[in-house]
Amino acid sequence: MSSRVSIDFEVDGVRRSEEIAPNTVLLDLLRDRHALTGVKASCERGVCGACTILVDGTPAASCGVFAFSVDGAAVETIDGQGREGGLGPVQRAFAECGGFQCGYCTPGMVMLTTALLRAHPEPDDERIRSWISSNVCRCTGYQMIVDSVRRAAELSREEQP
């Protein structure tokens, strides 16, 4: 693995150009090089979704994405979800509704919710359940996450000008 490849991509709105080994996994690049430890590593098999990020707006398990493949893409992580001086609407909703316990799945759930609300600003419970079924939460039993997503939809709509 002596060869290196160059990638040019955006992370949370900041453009980055860097040299990486071709077998670098995006999860490791974000956590180890960029210290974005809010992107959680868990199953590393693309199942649990703790490492969910958005690539050009689409949710992806960053443990299953080669870093070279995001060349030219915009990557969004939990780190970019805040707002000036505090929490973003999705984050506020999860905090308010208690849609987290140990917190390990929470960044992934927040990213999933962000993508869901962009695609469907007023999702019904069935759609919410269907979307968040791509990530595992072992603590909450999900209903309080469903409540959080519903509340996030309200807060996100309020935020629109």
Partner 1 sequence: MTNQPAAVGTSARRHDAAAKVTGGALYTADVRLPGMLHAKVLRSPHAHARLRSVDATRARALAGVHAVLTRDELAGLSPTYGYFIKDQPVVAMDKVRYVGDVVAAVAAEDEATALRALELIDVVYEPLPDVPDVTAALAEDAPELFEEAPPGIVPPYGTGASGHLRPRRNVCYEFRYATGPADVWQECDHVFEDTFAFSRMNHFHLEPFVTVADVRGEQIEIWSSTQNPFPLRKELARVLRVGENRIRVHVPYVGGGFGAKHNCKTEPIAILLSRMAGRPVRYCLTTEEGFLTLSQHAAVLKVKTGVKADGTFVARESEVLLDAGAYSDGSPLVAEKAAYRMPGPYRWTHVKSSCACVMTTTTPAGPFRGFGATQSTWAGESQVDMIARRLGMDPYELRIKNLKRLGEPFVPGESGIDSDLAEGLDTVAGELGYHRRARTPNRGMGLAIGFKDGGGVNKPAQARVKVTANGAVYVNSGTVEIGQGASTTLCQVAAEVLGVPLEQVAYAPINTDVTPFDQGTNASSGMTVMGRAVLRAAEAVRAQVLEFAARQLGCEATALTLENWAVRRGDEAPTPLPGLIMKVFGGTGYEFSGEGFFKAPNSPEAPLDAPCVFWEIGWAGAEVEVDPDTGKVTVLQLVASGDVGKAINKLVCRGQDEGAAVMGLGQALFEEMRYDGSALLNGEALDYRVPMAEDLPERFVSVTQEQGHGPGPFGAKGAGEGAMVPVAAAIANAVHDATGVRVTALPLSPERVFNALHRR
Which of 96, 127, 150, 155 is the binder for partner 1 (CB under 8 A)?
A: 96
In this structure, are residues 59 and 118 in contact, taking their beta carbons and an 8 Å threshold? Answer: no
Structure tokens at 64: 């299953």
Of the pair 60, 145, the CB lying nearest partner 1 is at 145
Determine if 100 is a binding residue for partner 1 (CB under 8 A).
yes
Q: Are 17 and 68 in contact (CB under 8 A)?
A: no
User: Is residue 37 close enough to count as binding partner 1 by CB under 8 A?
Assistant: yes
Q: Output the furthest CA–CA distance in the chain (Å, rounded).
A: 51
107 binds partner 1 (CB under 8 A): yes
Region near partner 1 per CB under 8 A, out of 7-15, 66-74, 114-122, 140-148 = 140-148
Is residue 136 at the binding interface for partner 1, with CB under 8 A as the rule? yes
Q: Report yes or no: 129 and 67 within 8 Å, Cβ to Cβ.
A: no
Q: Decide the pairing of beta strands 14-20 and 58-61.
A: unpaired
* Contact call for residue 50 and partner 1 (CB under 8 A): yes
Number of Cβ within 10 Å of residue 161's Cβ equals 2
Nearer to partner 1 among residue 7 and residue 61 (C-beta)? 61
Strand order in the sheet with 5-11: 14-20, 5-11, 74-76, 52-55, 58-61
Residue 91 makes contact with partner 1 by CB under 8 A: yes
Task: Tell the smallest beta-carbon distance from residue 90 to partner 1 (Å).
Answer: 8
Identify the bridge partners of residue 53 per DSSP, sorted by sequence position: 60
- Collapsing DSSP states into helix, strand and coil, what is residue 109? helix
Nearest distance from residue 160's CB to partner 1, in Å? Answer: 20
Q: Which residues are near partner 1 by CB under 8 A?
A: 36-45, 47-48, 50, 77-79, 81-82, 87, 91-92, 94-98, 100-107, 110, 128-130, 132-134, 136, 138-146
